[in-house]
Chain A
Amino acid sequence: MRRALAFAWLRLRREPGRMLLGVIGVTAIGALLFDMLLLSNGLLVSFRERLDRSGFDVRVIASESAVIAGPPIDHVSAKLTELGRKPSIAAVQRVRVASADVADHPSTRHLAVAGVDLGAPVPWTLLEGAPPNAQASPAPLVINRNFARTFHLTVGSPVVLNGRCGDASRPLPLDATVAGVAEFQNDAADALTAATSSQAVAALCGERGDLADMLLVQSNPAAGGPDAAAAAIRAAFPALHALTNEQIVERFSRVEFSYFRQLSSVLTTVTLFFGLLLITVLLTVSVNQQLGEIAALRALGLSRARVMAGVLCESALFIGLGGIAAVPIGGLLSRWLDAILRSMPGIPADARFFVFTLHALEVHAALLVIGAVLAAVYPMRLVATLPIAATLRREVVS
C-alpha cells in the first residue's frame, strides 16, 4: 500500500492539471459539505451554550406545550418561598414579560419589559451602571444597548413607559430611571428590551395577581445538580413543568431544530454525491486512457490488488488534499453565511447557525474517507477485471 501511495502521489505530481482539477473540485464540494455539518448541529450547540451562559439550569413553566411563552404561573411568591427551601435549589428567579412603549416619543415600536426579583440572581449581564435596587423610586430600569441607542438614554435618564399588556383599562404610566445598560439573553440585534422589578411590571400591566411566565432556577451542584432540582420542583408542584437545560435542548433538537438537521442532511447527501461523481469520473477517464499501460504493468507482474490499491490511493489523495483544504475554506464560508442568517429579524444576537465542533470535523473526515472508497469502487473494478491479454491485443490492433 505504501508503494501504491507513493506511486499515486508521483503520478498526481506529474499530472498537475488533473490533480488541480480534482483537488479544487473536492475543496469546493468539501467546503459545502463541512458547512452543512456545521449547520446541522450549530444552532443547537449555540442554543445550549446560550442556555448555559444564562447561569440558570432549570426552567419552570406552567404548560409543557410552550417552553418560552405559555400560560402564567400563579401564586408565585409562595412557590418561590417553598422552592427556596429545597436543598437541591441554590436560587430561584421569576420572570414576567410585558409589552410597553415609551411615552411622549414618536417611535411606535414596542419594547419587551421583564419583571424580576431584583434581589435574586438576574438573567442579564450589566454593562454600564449599577445593579438596580428594588426599593428605589422611580422604578429602576435596566435596558439593552439598542434601547439606549434608539431613545438616546444613558444611566440616570428618566423614562416613562406605557404598558401594552394585561387589562387595557388598568395600565398606568410607569415612571422609571435607567439604572443600567445590560446584555440580555436571547436578545435579537434589533430588539428593544428592558427589565425592572416584578412589582413595577405588575403595575405597568395593571395586574393584581402574583404571576410569572417562567421561573429560572439555579441548582445546587452539591445536592444533585439540575436533575435533582427539577425532580424536587416536580414533586412539590406536579402541575408545573420543570425542564433542565439538557431537556430543553433535547426537545428543541427533536422538534424545533429538526428542520435544520433534515435540510442539512439532504444538502450533505447531494454535496457528497457530486463529490463522488467528480472523482469517479476523473479516475475512470484516467483508467480508460491508460488501459494498455495498466495491462502491461499487470503483465510485468503487478498484482491485481496492487493496481486496485493504486486507484484507491489516487482517490484518497484527491479527496484527502481537497478535504483538508475544504476545512479552512468551509470555515470562512460559514462565517459569511452565519452573518447573513444572523441578520434576519428576530434572531438573538448571540445565536450562531454554524458552530465548529470536533464532532463535525470527525464526521467530515469520516464522510471523506467513505467518499474516497466509494469514488474508487467503479474504476477499481475496471482495473481488477481488466483482461491482460485481450487488452494488450486490443491496444495493438487499435
Chain B
Amino acid sequence: MTVPVVAANAVSRTFVMPAGAVHALRGVSLSVQPGEYVSVVGPSGCGKSTLLHLLGCIDVPTAGSVLVDDIDVSTLSDSARSALRLRRIGFVFQRFFLLPMLSAWENVELPQAEAGVSRAERRQRTRELLEYVGLSARASHRPAELSGGEMQRVAIARALANRPGLLLADEPTGELDQATGAQIVSLFDRLNADGTALVVVTHDPEVAARASRSVRMRDGEIVEETTRPCC
C-alpha cells in the first residue's frame, strides 16, 4: 500500500475568540496519495484554508493528527516542522508573498539556499524552474515589475524549488483575471502530470474541475467527495 504524502486523521481545529469558540474544523479526515490532485471547495469560512494550513504543518490541530510521509507532525519540534516544510511541502498563496526587494531569480533561489543546496545546483535548478513557468526572460525583474500572473508563476517556481512531493495552493487564482488564472491552472496540470501531488483550495469551479478528486466542505466538515474517473 502506498504511503500518503499527507493524511489528516479526524482533525479538529477550534479558535478561541473573545466572542466564543469557533470550530473551524470538526473531525475531518483526508488522505492525499503521491501524484494525486485534490481540490477543496466550499463557501467562505467553511474551513478550507484551515485544513490546508494543517496539511502544510503551519498550524496544529486541536484534536486528531496529521501525518506527512507517515510521520506524525505533532511529534516534531518547531524547527523539525520547518525543515519538513522546507524539503517536502511547497506553498502557493493567493497574494503571492514574494519578497519585494528580491528579483524573481533570487526569490526562487532563496528556499534552496536555506536548504543548503550548492550554488551551482541552485543556479541550475532556478534556471530550470523559471523556464518551466515560462519566466526565463523576467528572471532579473523584481515583483513590482511583474504582472499578477507572472508573480504567481514565480511563487509556484519558488514553491517547487526544493522538489517537494506536495504542493499546497490557497486560492491561487483568487487575485488573477480569468485568462491569467487559466495559465496557472494549466501550469498545475503540468506539475501534477510530472508527479507532484497537489491540494488546491479554491472558489473557482473551473479550477476545482481539473483535480482528480474534489472535496466539498461545509461548516468545518467534508460533506462530499467526488473522484474523476479518468484524466
Instruction: Identify the A interface with B (CB < 8 A).
Output: 3, 7, 10-11, 14-15, 292-293, 295-306, 388-389, 392-393, 395-396
Query: Is B105 at the interface (CB under 8 A from chain A)?
Result: no
Whether the Cβ atoms of A301 and B111 lie closer than 8 Å is: yes
Query: Is B115 at the interface (CB under 8 A from chain A)?
Result: yes
Which residues on A sit within 8 Å (CB–CB) of B170? 392, 396
Whether the Cβ atoms of A293 and B99 lie closer than 8 Å is: yes
Whether the Cβ atoms of B97 and A296 lie closer than 8 Å is: yes
Interface of A: prevailing SS: helix
Which residues on B sit within 8 Å (CB–CB) of A10? 101-102, 106
Which residues on A sit within 8 Å (CB–CB) of B159? 300
Whether the Cβ atoms of A11 and B114 lie closer than 8 Å is: no
Which residues on A sit within 8 Å (CB–CB) of B28? none
Closest-CB distance, B69 to chain A (whole angstroms):
15
Whether the Cβ atoms of B113 and A392 lie closer than 8 Å is: no
Whether the Cβ atoms of A392 and B101 lie closer than 8 Å is: no
Which residues on A sit within 8 Å (CB–CB) of B91? 296, 299-300
Whether the Cβ atoms of A292 and B97 lie closer than 8 Å is: yes
**11 sample A-B contacts, Cβ–Cβ < 8 Å, listed by A number:** A3-B114, A293-B100, A299-B56, A300-B159, A301-B87, A302-B86, A303-B82, A304-B78, A388-B53, A392-B93, A396-B95
Closest A-B pairs by Cβ, 4 of them = A301-B86, A296-B97, A14-B101, A389-B59
Closest-CB distance, A317 to chain B (whole angstroms):
14
Which residues on B sit within 8 Å (CB–CB) of A296? 91, 93, 97
Whether the Cβ atoms of B101 and A15 lie closer than 8 Å is: yes
Residue of A nearest to B91 (CB): A299
Instruction: Identify the B interface with A (CB < 8 A).
Output: 49-50, 53, 56, 58-59, 78-79, 82-87, 89-91, 93-95, 97-102, 106, 110-111, 113-115, 158-159, 162, 170-171
Closest-CB distance, A2 to chain B (whole angstroms):
10
Whether the Cβ atoms of A306 and B114 lie closer than 8 Å is: yes
Q: Which of A301, A303, A396 has the most chain B CB atoms inside 10 A of its CB?
A: A301
Whether the Cβ atoms of B78 and A388 lie closer than 8 Å is: no
Whether the Cβ atoms of B101 and A395 lie closer than 8 Å is: no
Distance in angstroms between the alpha carbons of A392 and B96 in the assembled complex: 11
Distance in angstroms between the alpha carbons of A297 and B53 in the assembled complex: 14
Closest-CB distance, B37 to chain A (whole angstroms):
21
Q: Which of B58, B115, B171 has the most chain A CB atoms inside 10 A of its CB?
A: B58
Whether the Cβ atoms of A11 and B85 lie closer than 8 Å is: no
Whether the Cβ atoms of B53 and A303 lie closer than 8 Å is: no
Whether the Cβ atoms of A304 and B101 lie closer than 8 Å is: no
Within the complex, which residue of A15, A300, A392 is in contact with B111, where a contact is CB–CB below 8 Å? Answer: A300
Q: Which of B89, B91, B98 has the most chain A CB atoms inside 10 A of its CB?
A: B91
Which residues on B sit within 8 Å (CB–CB) of A395? 95, 97
Contacts A389-B59, A392-B93, A395-B95 hold; do A3 and B86 have CB atoms under 8 A apart? Answer: no
Distance in angstroms between the alpha carbons of A39 and B56 in the assembled complex: 58
Distance in angstroms between the alpha carbons of A302 and B87 in the assembled complex: 10
Distance in angstroms between the alpha carbons of A60 and B110 in the assembled complex: 72
Which residues on A sit within 8 Å (CB–CB) of B95? 292, 395-396
Closest-CB distance, A389 to chain B (whole angstroms):
4
Whether the Cβ atoms of B59 and A304 lie closer than 8 Å is: no
Whether the Cβ atoms of B85 and A300 lie closer than 8 Å is: yes
Which residues on B sit within 8 Å (CB–CB) of A393? 49, 53
Whether the Cβ atoms of A11 and B83 lie closer than 8 Å is: no
Contacts A389-B59, A392-B53, A392-B93 hold; do A300 and B83 have CB atoms under 8 A apart? Answer: no
Whether the Cβ atoms of A298 and B58 lie closer than 8 Å is: yes
Residue of B nearest to A4 (CB): B114
Whether the Cβ atoms of A305 and B79 lie closer than 8 Å is: yes
Within the complex, which residue of A301, A305, A392 is in contact with B115, where a contact is CB–CB below 8 Å? Answer: A301
Contacts A11-B101, A306-B114, A389-B58 hold; do A301 and B85 have CB atoms under 8 A apart? Answer: yes
Which residues on B sit within 8 Å (CB–CB) of A303? 78-79, 82-83
Distance in angstroms between the alpha carbons of A298 and B79 in the assembled complex: 10
Which residues on B sit within 8 Å (CB–CB) of A302? 82, 86, 111, 114
Q: Which of B83, B87, B100 has the most chain A CB atoms inside 10 A of its CB?
A: B100
Whether the Cβ atoms of B85 and A299 lie closer than 8 Å is: yes
Closest-CB distance, A313 to chain B (whole angstroms):
14
Closest-CB distance, A253 to chain B (whole angstroms):
50
Distance in angstroms between the alpha carbons of A11 and B86 in the assembled complex: 21
Which residues on A sit within 8 Å (CB–CB) of B115? 301
Which residues on A sit within 8 Å (CB–CB) of B82? 298, 301-304, 306
Residue of B nearest to A392 (CB): B93
Residue of B nearest to A6 (CB): B113
Contacts A296-B93, A304-B79, A395-B95 hold; do A388 and B59 have CB atoms under 8 A apart? Answer: yes
Which residues on A sit within 8 Å (CB–CB) of B85? 299-301
Residue of B nearest to A384 (CB): B78
Closest-CB distance, B224 to chain A (whole angstroms):
24
Whether the Cβ atoms of B58 and A388 lie closer than 8 Å is: yes
Which residues on A sit within 8 Å (CB–CB) of B84? 301
Whether the Cβ atoms of B101 and A300 lie closer than 8 Å is: no
Which residues on A sit within 8 Å (CB–CB) of B56? 299
Which residues on B sit within 8 Å (CB–CB) of A14? 101-102
Which residues on B sit within 8 Å (CB–CB) of A389? 50, 53, 58-59
Closest-CB distance, A310 to chain B (whole angstroms):
11
Closest-CB distance, B149 to chain A (whole angstroms):
18
Q: Which of B93, B102, B111 has the most chain A CB atoms inside 10 A of its CB?
A: B93
Distance in angstroms between the alpha carbons of A303 and B115 in the assembled complex: 11
